[in-house]
Amino acid sequence: MEITANNSKRLVIVSGRAHQALADEVAEILGTKVVPTTAYDFANGETFVRYEESVRGVDAFVIQSHAQGINNWVMEQLLMVDALKRASAKRITVVAPFFPYARQDKKHKGREPISARLMTDLFKVAGANRLMSVDLHTPQIQGFFDGPVDHLWALPMLADHCAERWGNEDLTVVSPDSGRVRVADIWAERLGAPLAIIHKRRDPDVPNQVSSHELVGDVSGRTCLLVDDMIDTAGTIVAAAKTLKEKGAKKVIVATTHAVFSPPAVERLSSGIVDHVVVTNTLPITPDKQFEQLTVLSIAPLIAAAISAVFGDDSVNKLFPGHA
């Protein structure tokens, strides 16, 4: 006797507790709801998760933003992936808008871990078939995972916003260090603006601290657009902005994807050295991290479009014309 099945593909969105508002927004755009999930911590810190409806045979997208308390949120996402695997989900995609430990993508000295590689290994062992993230700190992280990786770009959205708001001014795009020159060059080409570069010298034994800045390019009388992938304590960005102002810049705008905003970032960014900051909500922007000069753009439409493309076996690269 022949056995046939008429099952159709089913997309589900599940979310960790770090940034549920983002997952809800993504689900709303896709015309669905986040799967009800029970999640809590035991007294000793262990995390428990359980889905409150069947996920058998689904195409699951596990959204978790790795905000402050990053180790707890990584563990919670791993447990969510494991629960999906053991509940017979057909395909599991880890959606990490801000990829955990992305800055530790290589060894600077002997006897150090390559933590970003460890994260991809953990997701794979837990049961992930695919990874999706926004603006990885370095593109090479895509090669750490043994499976498809969707690397989404926030650049078009950020650049279009900056062009609309400050495009009539004399713009100069500024790379805050040599490692971001390629991305800054794409910004400059998209905006039709000249490029300047700040060369920073770091003490490798002192984290979150830059010893000096040197400027390559003319910024006198211009509106400078400092572009980077993340702001943590804002020490680098504010020092770069101060250098630009000392060199005669009329205004300094900062555009970045990931607003980590570890203390004292808010105090530094709102001190008056930086005129405006544009970020996305890949990480939750809690009230204590908001200030008058801040604009937050939603990354949810981009993530929703990428999820829709993956679910429909369509090309994600089509979301980024000219950069595929």
**46-60, 135-149, 150-164, 198-212 — which is least confidently predicted?**
198-212
Q: CA neighbours within 13 Å on the CB side: how many for 289? A: 23
Q: Greater confidence, 214 or 285?
A: 285
**214 pLDDT band (50/70/90 cuts)?**
confident
At 126, list the tokens.
């837990």
Q: Could you identify the residue written with the tokens 């001014």?
A: 169
What kind and span of H or E run contains 308?
helix 300-311
Token output for 52? 């409150």
pLDDT digits (tens, 9 = 90+) for 132-158: 999 999 999 999 999 999 999 999 999
Q: How far apart are CA 241 and CA 274, in angstroms?
A: 6
Task: Count Cβ atoms within 10 A of the Cβ of residue 44 and give its class: 0-12 exposed, 13-18 middle, 19 or more buried.
Answer: exposed
Structure tokens at 222: 């211009």
* pLDDT tens per residue, range 67-103: 999 999 999 999 999 999 999 999 999 999 999 999 9
pTM summary value: 0.93
Is 176 within 8 Å of 200 (Cβ atoms)? yes
Catalytic residue numbers read: 200
CA-closest candidate to residue 127, choices 74, 72, 70, 86: 86
